[in-house]
Structure 1
Amino acid sequence: GDVLVFLPGERDIRDVARALRSRTSTGMDVLPLYSRLSLDQQAKVFQPHGGRRIVLATNVAETSITVPGIRYVIDPGNARISRYSARSRVQRLPIEPVSQASANQRAGRCGRVQNGICIRLYDEDDFENREPFTQPEILRSNLAGVILRMLALGLGEVSTFPFIEPPRRAMIEEGYETLHELGAINEQAQLTSVGRTLARLPIDPRLGRMLLAAMSTGALREVLVIVAGLSIHDPRERPADRLDAADRAHQMFADDASDFMALLNLWNWYHERVREGPWSAVKRACVDQFVSFIRMREWQDVHHQLRESCREIDASARTSLNAAPADFDAIHRALLAGLLSQIGRRDDRERGRYLGANATTFHIFPGSCLYRTTPRWVVGSDIIETKKRYAHGLARVRTDWIEEAAGHLVKRT
């Protein structure tokens, strides 16, 4: 029978796969399985095969995907759990022990059609002392979007709302701080006109704030594309066995000053292929450039939905898509409006380190276009902490843009 091994993350999977391939005999397949893997790569675990197969998976294989033919499960008992830190306002991905419920889900992956064996790499006392269930997402996520919807619906005080699992006070307060930063609420925690408009958009308030700012800077056409792209999985694929080839192919989309512009370049490249047609050629071009055709179609769908939402807002705000292409400044001034807590200033005391909001520090992600240039001021779409705290999706910004976007947060004496 086949073997399913649970591992915390992509790097662990690559390392274990490399070790297994150097030691296993011919006729034994070692296959990775995680959410960012291309659909073609994921599909390999479902294809018929003759020998034994070892599938190395993250917790995506707990419930999202059922891998056929699994006879043995090896469970080290840990996983990367997404947690939002209210103090540092950083999305963390620590490796933590899985709950009893998750462990039982993993054990249930074997023996679907015949008796199976689950080998846990931890003892029974450890299992018995674990949390019964995984902590609900509302207790470990940014609550700005939840609070915004509740305010728009007039549901009263968030702290007294009868949640099944009430979030901590610190998380609620941080959610309000985020909304104030975006200009969605005033000092009395009441919705502003910006907040009422944001509540009508079907996306994270920070992304919505970028769209509203783009209506003012004359960059709505471009920012719609970027925001839709930030709302989905990155369509650029990096197969574990062809990383260098994928990076070379993606270089044609790169921009020296902004990872956001790389998204825009990818979008424009794809639509040039669509205009040239036919669809078979578009799909072939996507394969050649290591781009997921399915995720590009998803990007189009999200873009269409957001454009329709903006049209409803435009009717009342008397704004429209810009006819002429927007310049770099107009695009990034709009993006900055939704990312004020993710600005960083270069720390000249340590190479590559940046000083961020709330006394935090971060480094530029190695895959960013800014990794080697380290400009004085940057803004990132995400700051994620694994073993190290990295900012992803970066662009250089100017101090006058920051002053303009954050004017409502400055106290003058």
Structure 2
Amino acid sequence: MTEKNMAQQNNNKRKRIWSLIKNLPAYHARKSFLQALASSEVVLVVGETGCGKTTQLPQQALDVGYRSIVTTQPRRVAAISVAERVCLERGVTLGSQIGYVVRFDDKTSSETQLRYVTDGVLLREAITDPDLSRYDLIFVDEAHERSLQTDIVLGVVKRALTNRRGSLKVVVMSAFLDTDKFRSFFSSFDLSILEMEGRLYPIDIFYIKTPVEDYVEAAVVACLQIHFEESFPGDILVFLTGQEEIESAARMIKERFDNYCSYLEKNFLPCSENKHTTLYHPLRVYPLFAAMSPDAQRAALKPCRNQFRKAILATNIAETSITIPGIKYVVDCGFSKQRVVSSMKCLDALRVSPISQAQALQRAGRAGRECPGKCFRLYTKDDFDKLSIHPVPEILVSDLVSVTLQLMAMGMENPFKLELLDNPRTESFQYALEVLLSIGALDSSMKLNAIGKQMAFFPLSPMLSRSLLESITLNCSSSMLALCSILSTESVFQLSSQIRESAFQAWNKFISSLGDHFTLLQVFQSYLSIPEHERIQWCKEHYLNYRSLATANNIYCQLSQLLQQQKYSSSFMSHLYEEESEQDRLGRCLVAGFFRQSVRIGSNCQLYTLFEPLQVDIHPSSVLHRRLSSKEEGYLIYHELIWTTKPYIRTVMRVKEEWLLQHGGNCFQLES
């Protein structure tokens, strides 16, 4: 293609984009928005899904002279996709005038004036700059979701507004807001409210008549029925709760679609007059969840130009902000994974729970962004009426250890004093302080000490940060960096029913009898030992996810650079463990951070958490699943507790009693 033709093609593309932009309600609200921004310190923007507020309003502010703007998003996929869309609209290169920053991925430069970032990234910036002085305008998007990080961001932003009267403005955006609550929260500032109509096409909503026992199976059936019975074109968006459900449903859809097509080919003539020819539109399945690499997420969001029908299987990250072109049909299972904390000792877990009515409306709205659509709800109308109207704010049901560490690193000695939309229980903050004290982040006067400040420096959970710092003391930081990296990405194992036996045989060489941590470490270290140009093929041969391992490698490089920026000295105690193997030293390091997530192996392999009397099971994805002998005794630590039909512990490792006594002996008494 000649340069002239390419220029003409780009020009035509830009014309099409601008014809779409001019139809957006946010485009027509430009004058009202800029007037509100000029006269107020805080602007609340309530705009229905599809009105263009996320992409257009920050650009309008940029056009009138704001030179340092940040827009927060609850999820990385939204921050990335919106930044790419705005770059396309303005005809600029990603990372120049417009860019994004998510954890372990920074696409900005010294030229960048408008940044799209996750809430967590802005909180990390506030550690070194509590007043967020680099920005003159902050957009907080999707505030209605009331995620933990978003609520903390609102508290930090309000604090910065108070300290920077006259030099900072804030815009809070949402598809629907409790305006009275937000007006009260920002009552000490000049405030304007701007409401915009949406651009939603009519949506037909269908409910099932009787409850289903297995919503994953029901979602698969619904997806295939839509493909075979509903008009083409029009893509399908299926809401499920997590990666495992999505991967399982994807396998089922592919297998059943292929089997049905084979049946048609054997029993019907493939002629143009055959009534079944309309069923031969290709169906391609794309997963979409937070732990995926940006490249894999882009594949799900990329238009297919009606060459085939897409079935996108997504978690609730597809509810808001991101626009998925071509969606005409939505299948809503009615559930999502939500944080829950027990009432006794704040045992934090992910639990599959019913969504709210507001979330159900957001999901249905995905079907009406570009044309009239249909939403198929896998629950009854009575069940919908029983759902809570709004989601419960995460800050009321979440573990606050990480945010407490961040707030204290910002200079807030007493995180209780941060003004929030909803104040969590006092016990939640008290428990967070107790945890930070037990892992060595606080001194006896409950103030952040040197270790705590070093922990806050790393973009990791406090427990992983503590383990990493311990590895410096025990001279095994390189291996711990690798372990932190592989634990910060999605699953590296690729499994389907067709390759199950072959995959297990390939993985045997990596499996460690000590558990998942050392299994993952061996996978990653083996990957790093392979020449770069051979890694993709090596991953195929071993049924491993190349994207996950490549992402872990990128994280490893960034964490290594962060580690080099700090000056650490070895402990005088390190010589005590010189005779131990590196595996044992790594075990000690992990226990230093995760001893509160420890489990006792009881009689008949029954497992009980040590910090709360809860019986748990090892998740089937763990290498230790069904590998504990009936007479085995001892202890385990786990990385995550997930609650589906019952509580499961994931990413599990055997540990020694002496390690637990060394780091947690003052917190619990081990049973002999």
**TM-superposed deviation, 1:73:** 1.7
- The equivalent position to 1:183 in structure 2, one of 437, 440, 454, is 440
Offset, 1:175: 1.1
Residue matched to 1:356: 610
Q: Distance in 2 between matches of 1:62 and 1:241?
A: 32
Partner of 2:407: 150
Taking the aligned partners of 1:297 and 1:51, their CA distance within structure 2 comes to 29
Aligned 8 A contact 1:363 1:390 in 2: yes
Per the TM alignment, residue 136 of structure 1 is displaced from its structure 2 partner at its CA by: 3.9
- The Cα of 1:142 is off from its aligned counterpart by 2.1
Distance 2:359 2:500 in 1: 32
1:406 corresponding residue in structure 2:
664
The Cα of 1:408 is off from its aligned counterpart by 4.8
> Contact conserved, 2:402 with 2:461, CA < 8 A, in 1?
yes
Contact 1:9–1:80 (CA under 8 A) maintained in structure 2: yes
Measure, in 1, the Cα distance between the counterparts of 2:619 and 2:636: 12
Aligned to 2:252: 18
Structure 1 residue aligned with 2:238: 5
Equivalent residue for 1:340? 595
Runs of 4 or more above 6 Å deviation: 37-42, 322-325
The separation in 2 between residues aligned to 1:171 and 1:347, in whole angstroms, is 30
Which residues in structure 2 correspond to 1:249-260 (within 5 Å)? 249-260=506-517
Partner of 2:391: 134
What letter corresponds to residue 517 of structure 2 in structure 1? F
SS at match of 1:392: strand
User: 2:535 and 2:374 mapped to 1: Cα distance?
Assistant: 45
What residue is the counterpart of 1:369 in the other structure?
623
Amino acid corresponding to residue 237 of structure 2 in structure 1? L
TM-score by length of 1: 0.83
Post-superposition offset of 1:88: 4.8
Deviation larger for 387-396 or 94-103: 94-103
Please state how far the C-alpha of 1:226 moved relative to its aligned partner.
0.8
- Listed as ranges, the matches of 1:370-409 within 5 Å are 370-371=624-625, 372-374=627-629, 375=632, 376-409=634-667
- Residues 315-346 of structure 1: per-residue CA shift (max 9 Å, x gap): 466899x9999522111011110011111111
Q: Is the deviation greater in 122-131 or in 357-366?
A: 122-131
For residue 166 of structure 1, report the CA deviation from its aligned partner: 2.4
Q: Summarize the alignment of residues 174-253 of structure 1 with structure 2, pairs less than 5 Å apart.
A: 174-239=431-496, 242-253=499-510
Q: What SS does structure 2 have at the residue aligned with 1:176?
A: helix
CA distance in 1, matches of 2:463, 2:314: 32
Task: Give the deviation of 1:384 after TM superposition.
Answer: 2.1
- Displacement after TM superposition at 1:86 (Å): 6.0
Against the structure 1 CA distance between its residues 202 and 119, is the aligned structure 2 distance closer, same or farther, given a 3 Å change threshold? closer
Aligned counterpart in structure 1 of residue 375 of structure 2, from 108, 112, 118: 118
Q: Tell me if the contact between 1:30 and 1:56 (Cα under 8 Å) persists in the aligned partners.
A: no
The answer (yes or no) to whether the contact 2:495–2:503 under 8 Å persists in 1 is yes
What letter matches 2:357 in structure 1?
Answer: Q
TM-aligned CA deviation for residue 288 of structure 1: 2.4
Q: Which amino acid aligns with 1:363?
A: D
1:163 aligns with 2:420: yes
Return the letter of the residue paired with 1:138: I
1:283 has 2:536 as partner? yes
- The residue identity in structure 1 corresponding to 2:252 is R
Structure 1, 1-10 or 389-398: larger mean CA deviation: 1-10
CA deviations over 1:256-278 (Å, ceiling 9, x no partner): 1232111221122111113xx4x
Identity of counterpart residues, as a percentage? 28
Distance 1:251 1:91, change over 3 A: farther
> 282-291 or 119-128, which moves further after superposition?
119-128
Shift in alpha-carbon separation, 1:246–1:20, aligned structure 2, 3 A: closer
Offset at residue 6 of structure 1 (A): 2.4
Corresponding residue pairs, total:
405
Stretch deviating more after TM superposition (74-83 or 126-135): 126-135
Letter in 2 for 1:195: G
- 1:302 equivalenced with 2:535 (yes/no): no
Mapped to 2, the partners of 1:352 and 1:261 lie a distance apart of: 23
The C-alpha deviation readout for 1:278-325, integer Å capped at 9, x for no partner, is x2x2222222223233322321222223223333433466899x9999
Question: In the alignment, which residue of structure 1 is the partner of 2:134?
Answer: none
Distance 1:150 1:303 in 2: 26
Specify the SS of the correspondent of 1:114: coil
Secondary structure at the residue paired with 1:82? strand
Identify the structure with bigger relative contact order (alpha carbons < 8 Å, sequence gap 6+). Answer: 1
The answer to whether the 8 Å contact 1:347/1:355 transfers is no
State TM-score, norm by structure 2: 0.54
Give 1:94's match in structure 2, choosing from 333, 336, 351: 351
The separation in 1 between residues aligned to 2:580 and 2:547, in whole angstroms, is: 27
Q: Distance in 2 between matches of 1:123 and 1:82?
A: 25
Q: Which residue of 2 aligns with 1:31?
A: 285
Q: What is the Cα-based RMSD across aligned positions, in Å? A: 3.5
Change (3 A) 1:359 1:338: same
- Partners of 2:409 and 2:446 lie apart in 1 by 12
> What one-letter code is carried by the residue in structure 1 that aligns with 2:544?
V
How much does 1:106 deviate? 1.3
Mark the CA change 1:240 to 1:408 in structure 2 (over 3 Å): closer, same or farther: same
Shift, 1:77, TM fit: 2.6
Question: Which residue is equivalent to 1:330?
Answer: 585
Counterpart Cα distance in 2 of 1:25 and 1:48: 25
Q: Which amino acid aligns with 1:402?
A: L
- CA distances 1:57-94 after superposition (whole Å, capped 9, x unpaired): 43243247644433222324322223344635444333
